[in-house]
Amino acid sequence: QVQLVESGGGLVQPGASLRLSCAAEGRTISSLSMGWFRQAPGKERDFVAHIRYSAALFPARTYYADSVKGRFTISRDSAKNTILLQMDSLKPEDTAVYYCAAAVGNVRAPMSSRDYDYWGQGTQVTVSS
């Protein structure tokens, strides 16, 4: 069993930055595939970013949704067993509840929510002037 705890959300103005954190308990992140998803009011839950550590490849492999590529960066803090999502140049359309997700080992499709086994409680990100 894995527990995920997100933090770092808040209300910011367009163009500002936020950094989200996802702390994993129960397994080390080196044994997990981890991702971020987001869900805006009245919308479906969308893929944001994914990271998978590999001892044979450093840095870790990462994937991003086209809508955030170049603005968001997913990374890991191994000492804290935590996944980070650095969000820069935030736009109003980034407003959503952001969820951390994890799967044991690899996933078939990093962008598919069905491939993840564990989910955090979500953290609200609001971008508004």
Could you write out the three-class secondary structure of 84-117?
A: EEEECCCCHHHCEEEEEEEEECCCCCCCCHHHCC
> How far apart are alpha carbons 108 and 105 in whole angstroms?
10
Give the residue, 41 or 97, on which the prediction is more confident.
97
CB-based burial, 50-62: b 16+ in 10 Å, e otherwise: bbbbeeeeeebee
> Residue 61: pLDDT band by 50, 70, 90 thresholds?
confident
What are 108's two structure tokens? 């078939």
pLDDT of 59 above 70: no
The C-alpha angle 42, 114, 21, rounded to 5 degrees, equals 75
Mean pLDDT, the chain, as a whole number? 93
Whether residue 85 has pLDDT greater than 80: yes
Are 48 and 120 spatial neighbours (Cβ–Cβ below 8 Å)? Answer: no
Rounded mean pLDDT, 58-84: 92
Whether residue 31 is predicted with pLDDT greater than 80 in this model: the reply is yes
pLDDT surpasses 90 at 47 = yes
Average pLDDT over residues 69-94: 96
With a cut of 80, say whether residue 60 has pLDDT above it: no
